[in-house]
A and B are shown apart, each in its own frame.
Chain A
Amino acid sequence: MATPKSRPRDGYPGRALALILVVTVGLVALMFGTGNTKPRLGIDLAGGTSITLTAKSTDPKAINKSNMDIATGIIERRVNGMGVSEAEVQTQGSDTIIVNIPKGGDRQNTAEQVGTTAKLFFRPVLAVAPSGLQVPAPTSSPSAGATGTPAAAPTATGSAAPSAAATGTPGASASATKQGRAVGEALADASPSTAPSGASAAPSAPAATGTPAAAASSTPSAPATAPNPADLAAAMTQGTVPPELSAAFATLDCTKPEARQQLGQQAEDKPVVACSQKPERGGAYSKLVLGPVAVKGSDVSKAQASIDTQQGAGWQVQLQFNDKGTSDFAAVTGKLAAMPDPTNQFAIVLDNEVVSHPYVRSAIPGGTAVISGSFTQPEARDLANVLSYGALPLEFSKSDITTVSPQLGGDQLKAGLAAGAIGMLLVVAYSVIYYRGLGLVSIAGLVVSGILTYSIMSLLGGGIGFALNLPAVCGAIVAIGITADSFIVYFERIRDEVREGAPLRPAVQRAWPRARRTILVSDFVSFLCAAVLYIVSVGKVQGFAFTLGLTTALDVVVIFLFTKPVITLLARRRFFSDGHPWSGLDPKRLGARPPLRSSRRRSPSSAAVKEA
């Protein structure tokens, strides 16, 4: 703070008060504005949703205790990554996991996310063909709806669909533009002008080939004259299918959901056939032959949802690899970049389905990659979340989603709150009796602190899924003591100064630096505890640490921005500065010595003025 010359000795208490008032009112307004008017409650208090996941595996031996425990740990982190959601995960029987989520979350979304296996692999593409292609009547609207193609200009191969905008700069990403892009874009690329120079038909975007026959429209009208899709697919296959897979590849029909899942238990070190996750351009699925796994998802150290700013393709997921992943990824992208189409594509396979298969133009050394597609924000966020915490060792099917009642009777919360209120009243009574006028200040401070805590917790409930359970409610009640303690430390310091014979205004000023130091040092210890536990631990302990950190930070805010300024203002009032008996600062009652610094008198009775 700048200190102008005319600054009063006791600062500008009004400014601090105005600030905290604005912040408080703002938070409360935000709370009502966003409709988060109540803190979210944990399962123990409010019940929630229970999701039953049953493990399935082709290898019965895989469903064992250790795998179930690993899965439990991973799911725990998925549903409670921040540690504040109060979700619970436990095994039931030998092959079931129960996930309990507090009320108020997005049930469907969470259920989707919880059961995802999230096995992520990067495999080189060996061959690609459209699958289940309905030969449409040629539409007359090629490129009509063509929006501007992404900044990644079509590659020399002429396919624009998955262009890997991968530069060699570190941190660059293999940006896989999802082939499920707007049809218009796809069609734009299907125009003959961008016809591939390669001998083969269109690369990778099978539906969008240079052959008008296959010029896909999004309305497969399947005319009677349609050729056999299988033949068509064979004709449009690019790359070489390994002989041992040719039969499987030929018969693979990616339009069937069960077929798309069939990559399941196949070897990581052999070529496999796979399907695209969603229909690609032109509304047809692609079927691919993929080489052995080049980079594993377990080498992903971090995943984050972000907006694709370069190409405006909406939400995407950024991956950060660990050291091994980085070197593997750089090596394989370097190799692929030199390959002919379509073997210069790199498929990103998630749970046996190909999310995208972008081109690689040059080695990508930066240890990052991007999965992009027509993701919505929640989709991107959830995918990033599941990838961050690793793949489940088993596959799970959701067998049951039901609502469960609170574990504790509602009377527990009621009693807790009632007891808290009674406790508060006792604190108020004690403060007023002991500190008189000052006690009112501490009560006002507690009220401000309470409003701030309540509104922040309510907002966090909507923001990061923060949920309050009964222990946290009790913790907040203990925080009353910690908050009140800061006032007590300061008040006692002021009274010490008054005992020394200082007039009130200087006493308030002199007491502050020392009280401030005590408060800061002790709150720092509490905050350190909260921060360390939050960073290191998981689950409920993390939730506790969060609450502790929040209340400690608010304690400091309230004492600095509320209590101190209010005392400063009050000290200017005669009621306090003259030491009215009800101000709590009566020099007589405090046994102040006269300001004259005489040496201490011998008789205690003279110093301690007995009050009637």
Chain B
Amino acid sequence: MSRFSNLGHRLYQGEVSFDFVGRRKIWYSISGVIVLLAAVGLAMGLHLGIEFKGGSVYTVSKPGLTVSQAQDTADQVVSSHPLVQSTDNGKIRIQVSTDESKSSDEIRSQLSQKIGVPLDTVEAQVIGPSWGKQISDKALTGLIVFMILVTAYLAIAFEWRMAVAALVALIHDLLITIGVYALVGFEVTPGTVIGFLTILGYSLYDTVVVFDTVKENTKGLTKQNKRTYSEAANAGLNQTLVRSLNTTVVALLPVAALLFIGGGLLGAGTLNDISLALFIGLAAGAYSSICVATPLLAQLKEEQSDMKALRKRVLQHRAAADAKGDAVPAGEESADEDLQAGMVGQRGRSAGTTRAKGRPSSKR
């Protein structure tokens, strides 16, 4: 662990630096491929559960029939995990989603055979969705309102470019998660919708934490000529990398336990559905904060005229320094990383230019 501790230090000092921003093409392609797969999955369509589409309900009553027995039987008859409940008047309700390929008569006759009750005692009725259209519509309205407000807030608290990058990362995470659902063919239940919403919150949260460091690292950038915006942003990422890794590990550990232990013990079930959505979403959220949002932000910022001017100055300065033969550290000693030219950590920065460390900050 001490090695890791040291790594944190070396990351912070810029002795070790991973070039996240400079390699954005790699990240974009990885994300692009996954999102494309997700889109293919979405095109195939999502498998909506009974709560959204309704279905049919079969009522059987047989003394001594337990819920778990009925569940096993129902699982044999229909493929789309039916909801089984017992009621206190000795009946068992079996709810089957409309996607079922079998007709309701078929299901009735098979249930009556397998359970061993006369066919005419198996009642069948159509049921509507318990998650009505209204809930979906209002949730969507809520999401749109939230997106508008959060964009406004980020634009004010940070800047509009950060808001855009954060939103792109958010959509990226949601697309990936929903796409995986479509590909795996899992049923979308209210539980998974709640899972998606949890991811939405987490994705933004994580991006904001990362952007906060980036913002701090790029303060007063135009007053110097040592680092471009991309380099400064990358240094910020590296400084906060340990925090990002730790947080992701801490957030993923319980969810992984849910997914592998809970799911492993029980097999398919609601728990598995939710934890899978969360696991993929949280991982995507952590990845996108670093590898999608920040490079995109740097790209947007580099379009600004003062940042372009800065880049020019930095390159001139380096060229001049090289010409003088002065040992301006342009990333040479980062031996353990084959960095592209122009990508350095924080080495060679005069102490105190961009690090407000050691000075109490009066800012909130």
Contacts and interface: CB of A to CB of B under 8 A. Distances in A.
B128 A90 contact: yes
B12 interface: yes
A499 B12 contact: yes
A484 B250 contact: yes
Given A90-B129, A509-B360, A597-B351, A477 B258 contact: yes
Contacts of A100: 130
A415 B138 contact: no
Interface string B154-196: 1001000000000000000000000000000000001101110
A91 B131 CA distance: 11
B358 A484 contact: no
Interface in B83-122: 83-89, 93
B80 interface: no
A608 B6 contact: yes
A449 to B, nearest CB: 13
B353 interface: no
Contacts of A604: 10, 13, 15, 333
A479 to B, nearest CB: 9
Contacts of B253: 423, 426-427, 430
Interface in A518-562: 518, 520-526, 528-530, 532-533, 535-541, 544-545, 548
B252 interface: yes
Nearest to B128: A91
Majority secondary structure, A binding face: helix
Given A416-B258, A416-B262, A470 B201 contact: no
B141 interface: yes
A540 B197 CA distance: 11
Contacts of A472: 194
A599 B351 CA distance: 7
A44 B269 CA distance: 12
B254 A73 contact: no
Interface string A149-193: 000000000000000000000000000000000000000000000
Contact of B127 (A90, A408, A433): A90
A602 B201 contact: no
A56 interface: no
Contact of B257 (A426, A544, A600): A426
Given A502-B358, A541-B135, A44 B1 contact: no
Given A532-B149, A539-B131, A607-B15, A518 B209 contact: yes
B250 A474 contact: no
B65 interface: no
A513 B15 contact: no
A481 B209 contact: no
B258 A474 contact: yes
B126 interface: yes
Contacts of A37: none
Contact of B360 (A499, A510, A607, A611): A510
Interface stretch (A19-27, A133-141, A365-373, A489-497): A489-497
Contacts of A599: 351
B32 interface: no
Interface range, B side: 35 or more
A443 B195 CA distance: 25
22 contacts: A69-B132, A76-B135, A90-B128, A91-B127, A100-B130, A418-B261, A423-B257, A470-B270, A477-B258, A480-B254, A496-B239, A496-B357, A497-B357, A510-B359, A522-B205, A522-B208, A532-B149, A538-B135, A539-B135, A540-B131, A589-B5, A597-B358
Interface of A: 44, 47, 50, 68-69, 72-73, 76, 88-94, 96, 98, 100, 402-409, 411-412, 415-416, 418-420, 422-424, 426-427, 430-431, 433-434, 469-472, 474-475, 477-478, 480-482, 484-485, 488-489, 492, 495-497, 499-502, 509-510, 513-514, 516-518, 520-526, 528-530, 532-533, 535-541, 544-545, 548, 589-591, 597, 599-600, 602, 604, 607-608, 610-611
Given A404-B87, A514-B363, A540-B135, 11 more contacts: A406-B85, A423-B254, A475-B194, A484-B250, A499-B9, A529-B200, A533-B197, A538-B138, A539-B138, A541-B197, A544-B198
Interface of B: 1-2, 4-6, 8-10, 12-13, 15, 54, 57, 67-68, 71, 83-89, 93, 125-135, 138-139, 141-143, 145-146, 149-150, 153-154, 157, 190-191, 193-195, 197-198, 200-202, 204-206, 208-209, 212-213, 216, 239-240, 242-243, 246-247, 249-258, 261-262, 265-266, 269-271, 274-275, 278, 282, 333, 347, 351, 355, 357-364
